[in-house]
């Protein structure tokens, strides 16, 4: 049901029955390694291109989610996925192997919550019994496409972020009230916000205003106070973006206790990994939310999380053509 | 509501309140010129890049749909759009200007019906009062990215298709029973089908099996006979793909009267325009369905149309890497 201007309330509490999370060697050395279901010690993952390896990550995450959820491909009505690669081919090729009716999405690094919002809406209204939704990225495939092949060893400014090699997939099903599982309660769909920043090496700074816009809209639409949540976690703003979003919200009159504001891009790696401002990529919020944070919820650490995935909707071509960076953020509320 | 394996029934009959359709000079000389709201006599449309011109087409179509529907941007909850350009930047930049909460979609040339299915589902269940959904393509921008800059004058085989320069946007609203407007009644979401074809100059042939798969699923899920429809129109299979889909359906035991099987890619241009096998591109089914075919419905020519938009989910990189072409088709039933 529409609530306010741009939010949905999911009265039937679609549940996140299971998830699958896969990652690469850099993630295996990260802070959250124990929360990954599958970890590869090689970026190629036995394939001959990084794009094929990218697809493998998503397929493994989807297969893991189905296995843990004790469902087979034929039980799943829809697969909603997207990534950062041109024409989202890793997602579409994974959909070919999965043979599940498929909605291709593009929201850059906001894709995880774009998919979770749509999947929750579908399940809430009996549009599906079981939906798989996910997002993924592969560091070397993304760097090659957006910046330089990693083999060049190009240097980056401290505002740059490190694209996560990983995929996170969630299996959304109808609420079965006998199980104690996390469920989604609402979603806020973002507008495109562009404050005129044009530096593709400072995505966190560019995306922060979009995150602030969606967070403000969420509390206004739902008529909630930030204290409703134990945790408000942004997708991949990194150090610089996180500071910016807190400042922007304060400026707009919404003061949130900084202790409950975290960022997936700051959670995933250790302090001594060379990730500059933090992690990023469509796989960042997908792996951290569907892996680490849901595990923490199940352990009782959090009861209500607002996950605000942020995306920079640029392309190498728009940067070359001198355009600024349009950004977006979608938020989904997950409770247990 | 889910019906069968992969279809939705829209009991509340979301209406297509209005549409906006824009096109370029080649479309102005085409068979359906009178059905376009806006036609440009120059491919640049006053801009300095084809990608900017691409965005203009989508913005004009969206603005026209809102104007004809007598609604303003603030009345619209969501904008669902996609295109063929890397990271769908024309759609995202149009969403920035429209300032309507935005779902980015990628279904290649199937995007028009992916969007209409989702928009209808949202409106059917009060997830929105008013939704804009559309798809677009620009011949020179798409050719440059997928094949060669048009300035090279590269030759093409007879199986190739001509990318439509155009955008089609529909405004989907709650049914107001006092108005005689077309409405959506069901949708079937396609699986990815890949029969092993790898020739990017024969998209129609590659996409035909996906169209057949979705058409078969539609009639099975809805338990309908093809004679239910006055017209089954595929997205952009062209001459070769249309013949293939008819043969494939016959092989599977579904004989459809060829007179009611049309293809948007064969409708849009005249016989003496040099379009090889026909028109294609994300703007093809969007402009033909939301322009010409809805006009025909309003004139009483058709009462029930099944629009089956087909998409080839390849990228130049997957072709270079020797991959075959994964294809998809989404169908929406429109009645008046």
Q: What does B37-64 look like in DSSP terms, one character per residue? A: SEE-SSTTTTSSSHHHHHHHHHHHHHHH
Chain B hits for A124, CB-CB cut-off 8 Å, are 125
| pTM listed for this prediction | 0.98
Does B178 fall in a domain?
no
Inter-chain CB proximity A192 and B99 less than 8 Å = yes
Task: Give the rounded percent of residues in chain B with a pLDDT score beyond 70.
Answer: 99
Chain B hits for A52, CB-CB cut-off 8 Å, are 321
Nearest to A264 by CA among A205, A310, A207: A310
Query: What's the confidence (pLDDT) of residue B176?
Result: 79
Average pLDDT over residues B304-324: 96
Average pLDDT over residues B235-258: 94
Q: Does A125 touch chain B (CB under 8 A)?
A: yes
Would you tell me which residues 136-175 of chain B have a C-beta closer than 8 angstroms to some C-beta of chain A?
none
Indicate whether B213 and B327 sit together in one domain.
yes
Per-residue pLDDT tens digits for B124-155: 999 999 999 999 999 999 999 998 888 888 88
Is pLDDT at A36 greater than 80 in this prediction?
Answer: yes
Output the six-digit token pair for B272.
């003496």
Do A287 and A36 form a contact (C-beta atoms < 8 A)?
Answer: yes
Among chain A residues, CA nearest to B5: A77
Would you tell me which residues 93-112 of chain A have a C-beta closer than 8 angstroms to some C-beta of chain B?
93, 95-96, 99-108
Of B93, B125, B323, the CB nearest to A326: B93
Chain A hits for B73, CB-CB cut-off 8 Å, are none
Nearest to A271 by CA among A68, A29, A66, A59: A29
Query: What's the confidence (pLDDT) of residue A155?
Result: 87
Crossing angle for the helix pair B139-146 and B50-68, to the nearest 10 degrees: 140
Is pLDDT at B175 greater than 90 in this prediction?
Answer: no
Is pLDDT at B123 greater than 90 in this prediction?
Answer: yes
Indicate whether B280 and B153 sit together in one domain.
no
Nearest to B325 by CA among B192, B225, B183, B153: B192
Average pLDDT over residues B69-89: 98
Candidates A49, A78, A104: best to mutate against B (most CBs of B within 10 A) is A104
Does B227 fall in a domain?
yes
Label residue A278 by pLDDT band (50, 70, 90). very high
Dihedral angle computed from the Cα positions of residues A276, A277, A278 and A280, in that order, rounded to the nearest 10 degrees: -100
Does A276 fall in a domain?
yes
Indicate whether B120 and B21 sit together in one domain.
yes
Query: What's the confidence (pLDDT) of residue A156?
Result: 87
Indicate whether B239 and B121 sit together in one domain.
no
Candidates B87, B140, B214, B315: best to mutate against A (most CBs of A within 10 A) is B87
Q: Does B32 touch chain A (CB under 8 A)?
A: no
Of B87, B102, B107, the CB nearest to A192: B102
Query: What's the confidence (pLDDT) of residue A178?
Result: 64
What is the total count of domains within chain B? 2
Indicate whether A156 and A250 sit together in one domain.
no
Last residue of a domain, which of B153, B173, B193?
A: B173
Task: Give the rounded percent of residues in chain A with a pLDDT score beyond 90.
Answer: 91
Inter-chain CB proximity A89 and B121 less than 8 Å = no
Inter-chain CB proximity A104 and B99 less than 8 Å = no
Task: Give the residues across from A22 on adjacent strands.
Answer: A38, A167
- Rounded CA-CA distance B202/B204 in Å is 6
Give how far B239 is from chain A: nearest CA, Å: 25
Chain B hits for A194, CB-CB cut-off 8 Å, are 96
Does A251 fall in a domain?
yes
Task: Give the rounded percent of residues in chain A with a pLDDT score beyond 70.
Answer: 99
Indicate whether B198 and B160 sit together in one domain.
no
Give how far A270 is from chain B: nearest CA, Å: 30
- Rounded CA-CA distance A158/A144 in Å is 19
- Under DSSP, the state recorded for A191 is P
Domain holding A227, by residue range, is 183-335
B151 half-sphere exposure, CB direction, 13 A CA radius? 6
Indicate whether A167 and A188 sit together in one domain.
no
Q: Does A312 touch chain B (CB under 8 A)?
A: no
- H-state helical runs in chain A: 25-28, 50-68, 89-98, 111-124, 139-146, 203-222, 238-251, 264-267, 282-287, 294-298, 316-320
3-state secondary structure of A316: helix
Indicate whether B193 and B312 sit together in one domain.
yes
Does B307 fall in a domain?
yes
Indicate whether B68 and B166 sit together in one domain.
yes
Least confident of B154-163, B176-185, B298-307: B176-185
Total residue length of chain A: 336
Please give the mean pLDDT across all residues of chain B.
Answer: 96
Give how far A56 is from chain B: nearest CA, Å: 15
Indicate whether A219 and A303 sit together in one domain.
yes
Q: Does A2 touch chain B (CB under 8 A)?
A: yes
Last residue of a domain, which of B147, B173, B199?
A: B173
Per-residue pLDDT tens digits for A156-198: 888 889 999 999 999 999 987 767 899 999 999 999 999 999 9
Is pLDDT at A117 greater than 70 in this prediction?
Answer: yes
Last residue of a domain, which of A173, A205, A231?
A: A173
Give how far B186 is from chain A: nearest CA, Å: 12
Does A178 fall in a domain?
no
Inter-chain CB proximity B321 and A1 less than 8 Å = no
What is the CATH number for A274? 3.40.47.40
Chain B hits for A87, CB-CB cut-off 8 Å, are 84, 86, 106, 108, 313-315, 318
Query: What's the confidence (pLDDT) of residue B178?
Result: 64
Indicate whether B168 and B221 sit together in one domain.
no
Q: How many CB atoms lie within 10 A of CB A314?
A: 24
Query: What's the confidence (pLDDT) of residue B108?
Result: 97
Indicate whether A208 and A242 sit together in one domain.
yes
Crossing angle for the helix pair A89-98 and A50-68, to the nearest 10 degrees: 50
Of A82, A99, A314, the CB nearest to B191: A99
3-state secondary structure of A330: strand
Candidates B72, B95, B99, B104: best to mutate against A (most CBs of A within 10 A) is B104
- Rounded CA-CA distance B336/B330 in Å is 20
Among chain B residues, CA nearest to A3: B127
């Amino acid at each position: 049901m529409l609530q306010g201007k741009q939010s949905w309330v999911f009265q039937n509490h679609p549940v996140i029955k299971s998830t699958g999370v896969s990652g690469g060697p850099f993630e295996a050395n990260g802070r959250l390694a124990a929360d990954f279901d599958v970890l590869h010690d090689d970026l190629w993952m036995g394939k001959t291109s990084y794009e094929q390896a990218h697809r493998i990550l998503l397929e493994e995450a989807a297969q893991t989610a189905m296995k843990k959820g004790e469902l087979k491909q034929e039980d799943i009505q829809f697969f909603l996925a997207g990534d950062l690669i041109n024409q989202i081919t890793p997602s579409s090729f994974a959909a070919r192997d999965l043979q599940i009716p498929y909605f291709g999405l593009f929201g850059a690094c906001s894709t995880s919550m774009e998919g979770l919002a749509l999947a929750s809406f579908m399940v809430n209204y009996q549009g599906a019994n079981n939906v798989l939704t996910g997002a993924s990225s592969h560091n070397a495939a993304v760097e090659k496409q957006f910046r330089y092949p990693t083999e060049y060893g190009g240097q980056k400014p401290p505002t740059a972020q490190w694209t996560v090699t990983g995929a996170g997939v969630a299996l959304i099903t109808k609420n079965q009230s006998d199980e104690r599982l996390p469920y989604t309660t609402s979603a806020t769909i973002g507008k495109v916000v562009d404050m005129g920043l044009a530096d593709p090496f400072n995505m966190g700074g560019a995306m922060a205003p979009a995150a602030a816009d969606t967070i403000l809209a969420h509390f206004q639409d739902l008529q909630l106070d930030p204290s409703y949540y134990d945790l408000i976690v942004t997708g991949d703003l990194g150090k610089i973006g996180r500071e910016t979003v807190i400042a922007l919200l304060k400026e707009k009159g919404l003061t949130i206790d900084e202790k409950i504001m975290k960022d997936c891009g700051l959670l995933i790696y250790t302090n001594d990994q060379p990730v500059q401002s933090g992690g990023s990529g469509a796989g960042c919020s997908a792996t951290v939310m569907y892996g680490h944070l849901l595990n923490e919820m199940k352990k009782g650490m959090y009861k209500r999380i607002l996950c605000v995935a942020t995306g920079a909707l640029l392309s190498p071509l728009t940067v070359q053509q001198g355009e600024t960076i349009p950004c977006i953020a979608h938020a989904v509320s997950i409770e247990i």
